[in-house]
């Protein structure tokens, strides 16, 4: 049987699970890619994916490939495929089109060209043509163009595979079946079930999580429940092969056993319980999965010694729900601690900060999407050593706020902070600035940098304070330093109006190299903030810095102004904020280089968050010094070079000191500039001196003062910035 490389789509955050599925189902050369995974196999392999994949969405079986740079070449390429092998004039068809890094800006028009080519060819051959049915076509054609390479495929799934066929009654905001399965697979349910563990969903809604848990535990192919696939009326369909695979799946289902009472769903809404029972009946699980009406407060203790409790609690999308939801999460955490010790728990939430109210430290946090909502899957070990943490990562230490607030120093600090807030908030509004430095050791004895971050106005609103204490020198009495810290912390909420839960704190000490980028925690929680009409992910818990350097705000704006039509290179790219500005400014391409896979992923997510995740924007994981020494001939019109002040990281080939080594680094970077290009060099070494003599004939324009924002004017030497052009 012929082998082909086919592609299966999946939701963001589940492609690794899909790749594992493809390998288990017999595909070879499996590769996780943008939007899914590819694998090589026969039609039998692809049919097995249609039948057994729990997280896949569409199975795209290739019909032909060609180069397509414009609508005319697209039409010609499609016309060159023999479509009579796939459908005839008696069939109906629909076309899905997508492109990445190609010149197709109107997907509907491109899909129309594909359809025209197919029907024109069949009309020429048969004297009549197929009609279009966008809802339930006989054959669904998928055309994908990436960097000019077009692949035409038959969608063997037709309707998305997440539509198993058992769910008819839907309540408010149900999660899709593929997402529910991904949550369970990610949480280790297959292993827990195989070891005899039980399953509980205390807020089951229409029962999707318990039903998917039963399908996994009972070795039931999710495709068995479907009435129709996209290949049913495809001319390449092998009915005998499909029947054999379906019989095999039926036999596996018959041999699988689900002990009654082992998989349970609870919900306070009687309509939800009725819907869940009806859905389970359609899935053939009547009597094997139990659904019970119960308030969370009345949730019974664990029915077995081990198991998984998985839940998709409310996220709080509407204003005014936060306090109620925090109580709900606190109650859920209490029920876990009281009745489920020794179990695993999986809490899927679109409001990750509420996870702290559980009172159990998450072992892992995974980023996943529920439609357009970015969510976190919090995986918990329900064990006493993870209970009742006295201080969460990034949280200020506990203090007696009332006592500290009564001290004279607290009032002096409050007066200064309030004055700053009034002045800077008015300035920020005039300048449309959402995130700014509110205080920066204005009173030397209160040595803090306090930044106000405000949420994306187009998404879920929010505001946070990020407090960095400059570590006192050894000559300062520790008790006095602690007393001043307590005084400052005691008035923050009163002056800013932000709840204590929105205050994060770090201690900033002199750093060596990339140590400010080292992980301090594993919370994996991100919030979205706004700057310059763009959106950025920030993290207040896991690192010393949040991922958005506010003092470089004006530098990023200049990059955007200079980027139109330019090839942009971001060296030591960190979280790619400058790359986002360059892309939004119309850069023809961008390349972000950094040693850290974590930060490159963060950069990629920042671009995707702003709708800029095209193939024109690429990423390279490398030591920038080594990368510069290997010249592949690529040239750039605009380069940002922002190295660490010092690094002896094991990931770098050589120790680096920015004062000692900057001239050689700049010369190596200038060699990658295209004629007329500009290099922007920056460093936060406060006593930095640019070695102009070592740079020869370069034209140098210092931007340090011109790009220093008003909110950082207290520290004019906070960083140096230069625009450098080779003559």
pLDDT of residue 502: 86
Residue ranges and CATH numbers for the domains of the chain are: 4-155 (3.30.2130.30), 177-220+259-386 (3.40.50.150), 401-517 (3.30.750.80), 549-725 (3.40.50.150)
Contact, 1 vs 45, CB < 8 A? no
Given a cut of 50, the residues of the chain with pLDDT beneath it are: 317-320, 389-391, 458-460, 511-521, 650-652
- Kindly give the pairing relationship between strand 149-155 and strand 56-67: antiparallel
Question: 465 forms bridges with which residues in the sheet?
Answer: 452, 503
pTM over the 0.85 mark: no
pLDDT of residue 134: 87
pLDDT single digits (tens) 95-113: 999 888 777 878 889 999 9
pLDDT single digits (tens) 421-450: 999 999 999 999 999 999 999 998 999 999
3-state secondary structure 536-591: EEECCCCCCCCCCCHHHHHHHHHHHHHCCCCEEEEECCCCCHHHHHHHHCCCCEEE
| CA–CA gap between residue 449 and residue 397 (Å, rounded) | 17
Contact, 619 vs 591, CB < 8 A? yes
pLDDT single digits (tens) 488-526: 999 998 999 888 888 998 887 654 444 444 444 455 678
pLDDT of residue 321: 53
pLDDT of residue 495: 93
pLDDT of residue 392: 55
Residue 377 Cα distances to 163, 184, 428, 571, 660, angstroms: 22, 10, 35, 32, 45
pLDDT of residue 477: 78
Backbone φ and ψ for 482, nearest 5 degrees, come out as -65, -40
The residue behind tokens 């408010």 is 172
pLDDT of residue 354: 84
């Amino acid at each position: 049987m012929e082998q082909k490389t086919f592609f299966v789509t999946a939701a963001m955050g589940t492609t690794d699970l899909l790749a594992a599925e493809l390998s288990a189902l017999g595909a070879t050369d499996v590769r996780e890619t943008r939007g899914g995974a590819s694998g090589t196999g026969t039609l039998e392999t692809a049919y097995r994916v249609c039948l057994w994949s729990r997280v896949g969405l569409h199975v795209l079986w290739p019909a032909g490939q060609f180069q397509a740079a414009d609508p005319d070449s697209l039409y010609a390429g499609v016309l060159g495929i023999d479509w009579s092998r796939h459908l005839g004039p008696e069939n109906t068809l629909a076309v899905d089109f997508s492109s990445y890094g190609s010149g197709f800006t109107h997907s509907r028009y491109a899909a129309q060209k594909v359809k025209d080519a197919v029907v024109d060819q069949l009309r020429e051959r048969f004297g009549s043509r197929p009609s279009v049915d966008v809802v339930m076509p006989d054959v669904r054609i998928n055309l994908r163009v990436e960097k000019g390479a077009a692949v035409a495929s038959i969608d063997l799934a037709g309707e998305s595979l997440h539509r198993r066929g058992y769910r008819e009654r839907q309540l408010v905001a149900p999660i899709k079946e593929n997402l529910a399965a991904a949550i369970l697979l990610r949480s280790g349910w297959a292993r827990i079930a195989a070891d005899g563990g039980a399953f509980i969903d205390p807020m089951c809604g229409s029962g999707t999580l318990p039903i998917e848990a039963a399908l996994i535990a009972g070795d039931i192919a999710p495709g068995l429940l479907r009435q129709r696939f996209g290949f049913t009326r495809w001319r390449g369909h092998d009915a005998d092969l499909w029947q054999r695979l379906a019989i095999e799946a039926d036999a596996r289902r018959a041999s699988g056993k689900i002990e009654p009472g082992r998989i349970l769903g609870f919900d306070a809404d009687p309509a939800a319980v009725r819907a869940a029972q009806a859905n389970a009946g359609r899935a053939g699980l009547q009597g094997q999965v139990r659904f019970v009406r119960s308030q969370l407060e009345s949730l019974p203790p664990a029915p077995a010694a081990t198991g998984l409790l998985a839940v998709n609690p409310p996220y709080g999308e509407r204003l005014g729900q936060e306090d109620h939801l925090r109580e709900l999460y606190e109650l859920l955490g209490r029920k876990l601690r009281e009745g489920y010790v020794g179990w695993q728990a999986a809490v899927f939430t679109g409001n990750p900060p509420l996870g702290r109210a559980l009172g159990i430290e998450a072992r892992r946090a995974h980023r996943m999407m529920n439609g357009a909502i970015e969510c976190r899957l919090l995986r918990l070990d329900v064990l006493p050593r993870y209970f009742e943490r006295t201080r969460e990562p990034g949280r200020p230490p506990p203090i007696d706020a009332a006592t500290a607030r009564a001290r004279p120093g607290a009032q002096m600090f409050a007066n200064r902070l309030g004055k700053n807030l009034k002045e800077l908030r008015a300035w920020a509004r005039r300048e449309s600035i959402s995130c700014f430095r509110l205080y920066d050791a204005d009173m030397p004895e209160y040595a803090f940098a306090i930044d106000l971050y405000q949420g994306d106005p187009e998404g879920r609103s929010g505001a946070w304070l990020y407090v960095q204490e400059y570590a006192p020198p050894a000559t300062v009495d520790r008790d006095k330093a602690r007393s001043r810290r307590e005084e400052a912390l005691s008035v923050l909420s009163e002056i800013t109006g932000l709840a204590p839960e929105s205050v994060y704190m770090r201690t900033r000490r002199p750093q060596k190299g990339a140590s400010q980028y080292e992980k301090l925690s594993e919370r994996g929680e991100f919030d979205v903030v706004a700057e310059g009409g763009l959106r950025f992910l920030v993290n207040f818990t896991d690192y010393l810095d949040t991922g958005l350097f506010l003092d470089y705000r004006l530098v990023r704006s200049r990059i955007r102004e200079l980027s139109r039509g330019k090839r942009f290179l971001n060296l030591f790219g960190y979280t790619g904020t400058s790359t986002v500005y360059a892309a939004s400014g119309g850069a023809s391409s961008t390349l972000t280089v950094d040693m850290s896979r974590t930060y490159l992923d963060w950069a990629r997510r920042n671009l995707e968050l702003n709708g800029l995740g095209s193939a024109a924007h690429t990423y390279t994981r490398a030591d920038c010094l080594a990368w510069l020494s290997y010249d592949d001939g690529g040239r750039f019109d605009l380069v940002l070079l922002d190295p660490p002040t010092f690094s002896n990281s094991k990931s770098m080939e050589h120790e680096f000191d920015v004062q000692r080594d900057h001239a050689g680094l700049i010369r190596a970077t200038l060699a990658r500039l295209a004629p007329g290009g500009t290099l922007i060099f920056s460093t936060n070494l406060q006593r930095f001196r640019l070695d102009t003599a070592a740079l020869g004939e370069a034209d140098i324009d210092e931007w340090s003062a011109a790009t220093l924002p008003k909110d950082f004017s207290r520290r004019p030497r906070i960083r140096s910035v230069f625009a450098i052009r080779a003559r």
